[in-house]
Amino acid sequence: MSPDQETDIPPILTEPVYPLPGSVGVPDYAPGERETLVSEIRTLLREKDAVLVAHYYTDEDLQMIADETGGTVADSLEMARFGNRHPASTLVVAGVRFMGETAKILNPEKRVLMPTLQAECSLDLGCPPEKFIPFCDAHPDRTVVVYANTCAEVKARADWVVTSSIAVDVVRHLKEQGKKVLWAPDRFLGNYVQRVTGADMLLWQASCIVHERFKAEAIQNMVNHYPDAAILVHPESPDSVIALADVVGSTTQLINAARELPNPRFIVATDNGIFYKMRQAAPDKIFMEAPSAGEGATCESCAHCPWMAMNHLRNLADVLKNGSNEIHVPEDIRVRALRATQRMVDFAAARN
Ligand code: 13P
Ligand code: SF4
């Protein structure tokens, strides 16, 4: 059944219904401050038995420190898995709030800190539990699959949690078992998974404010200028952009494609924080941002997540010093959210 055959489809959230963080981002450091902070953070990580788990979209300085201190820079699936197997008693998660919550759901015995607790995600905000839970209750015949970009309470209502790197495999597995899926929150990723798997999926209608802005026509114009370029697309992008892609995948899958494809240049439709790792993976290749503002449009996100940009050296040093910004998830919600989250981790382990 397609979603438009249903009567009670959630509203399409085309306009954000929440405040964006505006120009908050990495500060201008005073002369010498950056170097001082980097060295302070290295020492504090050691002293506090802490490890830095950073997403590819965060500031290059944070990615560099995570790499150099035995932490990780990863996609959201690998961030969850890394925190789970690393022995440090404190996980410092540089990313957005759902990533810190996922770490806490999987590691209740560890202290989970974040440089900022204000870093949201439009997908998480677009799927409030008070609306999502009744929607699930109205469709008891469907297996509830939620993207990791959701709050703990939404995960607690789900049967499965998935990330973009594993979504197709999980839904294919459910289809083979004859299951019908209720998918949330990303409508574009949901559409993509539905097309690839042919599964019966009812889709929640939220979207990512970064990826939804990529413009197919402008990308096509760019390809006309650079016919040797390959197009790499994160599946949170609109269907018309995905249709142009040479590779569609999670952040890690896109970095691997940059390394493995023979093309000398790439048009990349995802957050530009990923370029740090892409350049390391393929130093001789050229990476170009996919245009996110077509003619007459405005560029509100400019291929960079405003919430990811709230993580920087100053607030990272502060949380390590003060132990502030700790993530807490109420135990009853955590235990229920763990069921669906652990299923994802186990599925990923069995697949490898
Ligand atoms: P990945 O799981 O591919 O890292 O994606 C997370 C995300 O928030 C993309 O916008
Ligand atoms: Fe959420 Fe989009 Fe930011 Fe990823 S890029 S954290 S999906 S708002």
> 3.20.20.70, 3.40.50.300, 3.20.20.140, 3.40.50.10800: which CATH number matches 211-289?
3.40.50.10800
Residue of the CA atom closest to atom 3 of ligand 2: 305
Q: Residue 227 and residue 351: Cα distance in Å, rounded?
A: 36
- Any idea what DSSP says for residue 296? T
Q: Residue 46 and residue 151: Cα distance in Å, rounded?
A: 30
Which of 97, 123, 310 should be mutated for ligand 2, with most atoms under 8 A from CB? 123
Q: Which residue, among 92, 103, 3, has the nearest Cα to 54 in the 3D structure?
A: 92
pTM: 0.92
Question: Does the beta carbon of 122 sit less than 6 angstroms from any atom of ligand 2?
Answer: yes
Which of 209, 233, 251 should be mutated for ligand 2, with most atoms under 8 A from CB? 209
The rounded Å distance from CA 36 to ligand 2 centre is 30
CATH 3.40.50.10800 in the chain is located at 3-18+123-209+336-351, 33-121+308-331, 211-289
Architecture of domain 3-18+123-209+336-351: 3-Layer(aba) Sandwich (3.40)
Q: Residue 217 and residue 226: Cα distance in Å, rounded?
A: 14
Where does 86-213 have alpha helices with state H?
A: 97-106, 122-125, 129-137, 152-157, 167-176, 187-197
Q: Residue 257 and residue 267: Cα distance in Å, rounded?
A: 12
Per-residue pLDDT tens digits of the chain, which is 352 residues long: 344 444 454 544 444 445 556 555 678 898 999 999 999 999 999 999 999 999 999 999 999 999 999 999 999 989 999 988 899 999 999 999 999 999 999 999 999 999 999 999 999 999 999 999 999 999 999 999 999 999 999 999 999 999 999 999 999 999 999 999 999 999 999 999 999 999 999 999 999 999 999 999 999 999 999 999 999 999 999 999 999 999 999 999 999 999 999 999 999 999 999 999 999 999 999 999 999 864 544 555 578 999 999 999 999 999 999 999 999 999 999 999 999 999 999 999 998 7
Question: Does the beta carbon of 119 sit less than 6 angstroms from any atom of ligand 2?
Answer: no
Residue of the CA atom closest to atom 7 of ligand 1: 76
Question: Does the beta carbon of 307 sit less than 6 angstroms from any atom of ligand 2?
Answer: yes
Could you please state the CATH topology (level 3) that the domain comprising 33-121+308-331 is classified under. Answer: Rossmann fold (3.40.50)
Give CA separation, 183 vs 174, 193, 199, 344, in Å: 12, 10, 11, 15
Residue of the CA atom closest to atom 3 of ligand 1: 250
Q: Are 284 and 246 in contact (CB under 8 A)?
A: no
Q: Residue 265 and residue 284: Cα distance in Å, rounded?
A: 9
Question: Does the beta carbon of 212 sit less than 6 angstroms from any atom of ligand 2?
Answer: no
